[in-house]
């Protein structure tokens, strides 16, 4: 597990192991899809934009983006072939209509031209990047001027109590239940530990303004997720 934290390039391999059962595990997390849907609305899109869904996983974030894009398109990118295969099977109608395209790729090495997208949605992805600043600079590059970035992730509120709350929730519930459902513990142990080392929402705001964005704001989520789950909306100047 320490190897995963030190070398995040190994993370896609671990997601491949749990890809087929990942949706079932997240289904048991109250509000998982609703939170993604809410974050998509925070981008304030008109509905006809081209959106890049980075680290799209099994496509739940892609579905959230589609809800606010009746006339737009979503390009999903993920570095786990297993997760992307599940997304492809789930999104076949939208792929056939040309509303969604899916690519196997590294969010740290985006191969899209400059200013290709109106918005970037990144759910549970920045935390898995080896270099947060470099990842944000790459995202800024592919965004058009005025484009919006939505970072949706587990980022702990300041204070010891949020860390304790996350540790109890993670080690007491997430790890045992998700391990039972998926058959693998490593990626869920990594989840808990990576969140404990991930910057606070305020620090993520600062990272955004230091790496290509002119403004960033934090939005809280409801209920039991409020101290641990945040959405940061940043805009490219």
Q: What is the pLDDT of residues 46-102, one digit of tens each?
A: 999 999 999 999 999 999 999 999 999 999 999 999 999 999 999 999 999 999 999
Residue 38 has pLDDT above 70, yes or no: yes
User: pLDDT tens-digit profile of 3-18?
Assistant: 544 456 667 777 877 7
User: pLDDT tens-digit profile of 165-188?
Assistant: 999 999 998 888 878 877 778 888
**Chain centre to alpha carbon of residue 215:** 20
pLDDT at 15: 81
Question: What is the spatial distance between Cα 56 and Cα 58, in angstroms, rounded to a whole number?
Answer: 6
| Top-confidence residue, 141 or 9 | 141
Sheet-wide strand order for 229-235: 100-104, 73-78, 50-54, 117-123, 143-154, 229-235, 215-220
237 falls in which pLDDT band (50, 70, 90)? Answer: confident
Q: Let me know if 146 is exposed, middle or buried by CB neighbors in 10 A (0-12, 13-18, 19+).
A: exposed
CB atoms within 10 A of CB 203: 13
Please name which of 196, 128, 210 lies closest in space to residue 168, comparing C-alpha atoms. 196
40 falls in which pLDDT band (50, 70, 90)? Answer: very high
228 falls in which pLDDT band (50, 70, 90)? Answer: very high
Using only the alpha carbons of the chain, give its radius of gyration.
Answer: 17
pLDDT at 21: 76
Out of 3.40.50.150, 1.20.1250.20, 3.30.470.20, 3.20.20.70, which CATH number does the structure's domain 2-235 have? 3.40.50.150
Taking the whole predicted model, whether its pTM rises above 0.85 is answered as yes
**26 half-sphere exposure, CB direction, 13 A CA radius:** 17
- Show me where the domains of the chain are located: 2-235
What is the percent of the chain with per-residue pLDDT over 70, rounded to a whole number? Answer: 94
Question: What is the spatial distance between Cα 43 and Cα 216, in angstroms, rounded to a whole number?
Answer: 12
Q: Let me know if 52 is exposed, middle or buried by CB neighbors in 10 A (0-12, 13-18, 19+).
A: buried
30 falls in which pLDDT band (50, 70, 90)? Answer: confident
Region 212-216: mean pLDDT is 95
């Amino acid at each position: 597990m320490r190897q995963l934290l030190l070398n995040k390039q190994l993370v896609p391999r671990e997601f491949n192991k749990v890809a087929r059962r990942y949706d079932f595990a997240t289904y048991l997390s109250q509000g998982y899809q609703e939170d993604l849907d809410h974050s998509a609305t925070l981008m304030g899109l008109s509905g006809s934009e081209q959106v890049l869904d980075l680290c799209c996983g099994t496509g739940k974030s892609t579905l959230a983006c589609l809800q606010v894009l009746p006339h737009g398109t979503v390009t999903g990118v993920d570095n786990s072939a297993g997760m992307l295969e599940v997304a492809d099977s789930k999104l076949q109608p939208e792929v056939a209509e040309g509303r969604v395209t899916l690519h196997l790729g590294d969010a740290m090495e985006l191969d899209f031209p400059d200013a290709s997208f109106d918005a970037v949605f990144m759910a549970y992805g920045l935390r898995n990047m080896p270099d947060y600043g470099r990842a944000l600079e790459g995202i800024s590059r592919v965004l058009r001027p005025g484009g919006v970035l939505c970072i949706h992730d587990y980022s702990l509120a300041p204070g010891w109590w949020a860390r304790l709350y996350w540790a109890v929730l993670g080690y007491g519930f997430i790890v045992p239940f998700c391990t039972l459902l998926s058959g693998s513990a490593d990626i869920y142990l990594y989840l808990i530990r990576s969140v404990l080392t991930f910057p606070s929402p305020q620090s993520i705001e600062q990272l955004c303004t230091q790496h290509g964005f002119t403004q960033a704001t934090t939005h809280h989520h409801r209920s039991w997720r409020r101290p641990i789950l945040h959405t940061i909306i940043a805009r490219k100047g």
